Structure 1
Amino acid sequence: MNILLFLGGLFLLVMGASLLVRGSSKLALSFGISPLVVGLTIVALGTSAPEVAVSVGAVLDGKTDIAIGNVVGSNIFNVLFILGISALIAPLVVNIQLIRQEVPIMIGACFLLLALGLDGQLSFFDGGFLFVLLVSYTVFLIVQSRRETQLAKDEYAGEIKPSAPGAWDDRLLVQLLLIAAGLAALVFGSEYLVQASVSFAKAMGVSDLIIGLTIVAAGTSMPEVATSIAAVIKGERDIAVGNVVGSNTFNILGCLGVSGLVSGDLGLDMAPSLLAFDIWVMVAVSFACLPVFMTGREIARWEGGVFLGYYVAYVAYLIMAAQQHDALPAFSGVMLSFVVPLTVVTLVVVLIRRPVKKG
């Protein structure tokens, strides 16, 4: 029953995000807003709608560990799993703007979350600060988009087209119904997903935080998985990378910003284990993007394989730590004394031997 509840909630989240993006995009285009601005705002935020819905729903249910674990786990999942599996399908192209601007902003957001959580809580005011930064970042992207080349504008125009006259979604009422249906699906989907996740945690004897970092994080990242893999298959490999980086920044500023505001005076308690380990993993994963992206401005298949392998190792560590497995010390020793140093040395060698592309 819990599995059906989880799958039903996941389906509603994905469908709700799709309906919300479609209705909002068509409505914005109907009012004369450019496809470029719609792509940078509504579509970009729409893929993270499941994370927002689940985190806010978890806060309202008093499950703050799921709310924070969902965001941190989603960011780790997005980089290691989504980019990893996408690069295995085809080497990913990295836009120079991602290296110069978006990745540093993503890393800055990770450090900001760490700094705000050092007191063990994300307060109402912390949430408000994050949300203000999100609005400022979005405005900055819109202003910056006005200086984009015509090629970039044409790309968004090709992806997001106004409805043809007489089309079924051309009418205002239909667009409003799509938005309402999308929001309703997100609300119910998040409720079902949180309920099922709490039941999983109790049945497996693990904490809400572990469930949030793994099952919930992977489930709410399904729109990003679908978007990135579809982009790779269509040959739009730079969109796959940009989707992940943008989503990670929004997860911290948007999801935790709104969740912090919803929490009111209670705030969001941050588990000691999260501050001691998982947030640092998120920071390290974000930093890992820079050398990987700079090696020829692409993510090669072997680098994608390394990302995917590290995600499997991360989940394995969480499971063994939750169960206090006897193999945990040996596993941790091998990872810290052999696998991680070898990966760092390999990336440094590749970065030195492979010249960085200009432009």
Structure 2
Amino acid sequence: MLIAWTTFLLLGSVIAVAGFWLSRFGDVIAERTGLSGTWIGLVLIATVTSLPELVTGVSAVRVAGSPDLALGDVLGSCLFNLLLLSMVDAFYRPACLYARASEGHALSTGYAVVLLSTVGIDLLVPLSIPGPVSLSTFLIVPVYLLALRNIFTYERRRLLEPAEPALLRHPGTSLRRAVAGYLACAAAVVAAGVLLPGAALDLAEAMGWTSTFVGTLFLAAATSAPELVVTLSAVRIGALDMAIANLLGSNLFNMMVLVVDDLVYPGPLLADVSDAHSLTVMTAVLMSGIVTVGLVFRPTTRPAQAVSWVSLALIAAYGVNLLLLASSAGGGS
């Protein structure tokens, strides 16, 4: 137990340091290339911070033979990423998060709802199709690619609009150095993030919880550690849109992780998992909808000067899902 905790904290420290510099170099790349912080966060950073989910999912289905653990990790990570928006809201003090964030993030949450709903329908009404994969696997890939294309088009149109010239936040860092630094930090985050779930899983399994519960809560939190650190680091340097895009982009990429898990699993993965995952899917859809409302309505007040009502709603939804999963954690798989 002591070794597991030591390993967990050590790997978390590596992610904390590398994550800070990853967000900083990503911000430099956005400045030097003219790409938006949203696009950098959505593609470059979200992909890197989501790789632990990918490796963990493949390991869960190929080594451990547990599709519930793999699906729980993917869906639980989606919930955890949305919950982290409330932490960003509390951490970002200049104004309410949703009043300052780009409305374009609503595209990410909208497509996330589409992808999550596809998985939810496949879970509730399994549709038999020829082949070794689930029906949703055929639908997720084109929708994900369409989402990236539409978000890129939206951001490009937005950048073409006249705007006040902005001062460079990192005038002394060249693009070449930023790319090299980004690749080095990305490697460190991936390496530590891949090893992190092992220590977390050893601790969680000692409690006797089900694989669905462990995957959705404990393992998902562990594999989302890179998102947490990188997001808060991005907020710290003032790259708010990059921080939000990292979390929402990770949710989109998590659906591609599910596709890979399904491809390496011997059979349709969604046909061999617990029905309890449907609750997590619906909660993720609900939380994505709440974020979409916040991005469009753009609230400016914070109850008790803490977080906005949008963040309070996210915390409540996550808490209810946690309680319902915990109540059923004593049985099943």
Normalising by the smaller structure, the TM-score range is: 0.7 to 0.9
Q: Please name the residue that 1:110 is paired with.
A: 116
Match of 2:217 among 206, 214, 218: 214
1:148 aligned counterpart, secondary structure: helix
Q: 1:80-95, aligned counterparts within 5 Å?
A: 80=83, 82-89=84-91, 90=93, 91-92=96-97, 93-95=100-102
Match of 1:137 among 147, 156, 160: 147
1:149 aligned counterpart, secondary structure: helix
Matches of 1:320 and 1:210 in 2, distance apart? 10
Q: 1:275-290, aligned counterparts within 5 Å?
A: 275=278, 277-290=279-292
Residues 299/97 of structure 1: CA separation in 2 closer, same or farther (3 Å cut): farther
Residues 219/161 of structure 1: CA separation in 2 closer, same or farther (3 Å cut): farther
Matches of 1:35 and 1:50 in 2, distance apart? 26
Amino acid in the other structure paired with 2:119 = L
Give deviations 1:284-323, integer Å, cap 9, x for gaps: 2122223333333558424234433543443344334325
Matches of 2:323 and 2:192 in 1, distance apart? 31
CA contact (8 A) 2:8 2:200 kept: yes
Matches of 1:259 and 1:281 in 2, distance apart? 22
Matches of 2:201 and 2:120 in 1, distance apart? 25
Q: 1:1-40, aligned counterparts within 5 Å?
A: 1-7=3-9, 35-36=35-36, 40=42
Aligned-pair CA distance for 1:138: 2.7
Matches of 1:105 and 1:144 in 2, distance apart? 14
Rg (Cα) greater in structure: 1
- Runs of at least 5 residues in structure 2 that lack an aligned partner in the other structure: none
Matches of 1:196 and 1:251 in 2, distance apart? 21
Aligned-pair CA distance for 1:14: 6.8
Matches of 1:265 and 1:198 in 2, distance apart? 25
Match of 2:253 among 244, 250, 275: 250
CA contact (8 A) 1:78 1:224 kept: yes
Matches of 1:255 and 1:69 in 2, distance apart? 12
Q: Please name the residue that 2:187 is paired with.
A: 182
Give deviations 1:132-187, integer Å, cap 9, x for gaps: 433343344444444332579x88x868998467x5976xxx998x49x828x746
Give deviations 1:63-99, integer Å, cap 9, x for gaps: 222211111111111222x111222233202322233
Residues 12/88 of structure 1: CA separation in 2 closer, same or farther (3 Å cut): closer
Match of 1:318 among 313, 318, 325: 325
Report whether the alignment pairs 1:123 with 2:133: yes
CA contact (8 A) 1:75 1:282 kept: yes
Q: Please name the residue that 1:262 is paired with.
A: 264
Q: Please name the residue that 1:347 is paired with.
A: none
Aligned-pair CA distance for 1:111: 0.7
Of all paired residues, the percent bearing the same amino acid is 22
Matches of 1:164 and 1:111 in 2, distance apart? 40
Matches of 1:21 and 1:235 in 2, distance apart? 10
1:47 aligned counterpart, secondary structure: helix
Amino acid in the other structure paired with 1:102 = S
Amino acid in the other structure paired with 1:107 = V
Aligned-pair CA distance for 1:193: 4.0
Matches of 1:129 and 1:106 in 2, distance apart? 13
TM superposition score normalised by structure 1: 0.68
Aligned-pair CA distance for 1:244: 2.4
Matches of 1:312 and 1:127 in 2, distance apart? 29
Matches of 1:160 and 1:126 in 2, distance apart? 46
Residues 25/255 of structure 1: CA separation in 2 closer, same or farther (3 Å cut): farther
- Runs of at least 5 residues in structure 1 that lack an aligned partner in the other structure: 325-359
Matches of 1:256 and 1:137 in 2, distance apart? 17
Q: Please name the residue that 2:72 is paired with.
A: 69
Amino acid in the other structure paired with 1:79 = L
Match of 2:60 among 58, 61, 82: 58
Matches of 2:290 and 2:5 in 1, distance apart? 34
CA contact (8 A) 2:25 2:182 kept: yes
Between stretches 308-317 and 84-93, larger displacement belongs to 308-317
1:96 aligned counterpart, secondary structure: coil
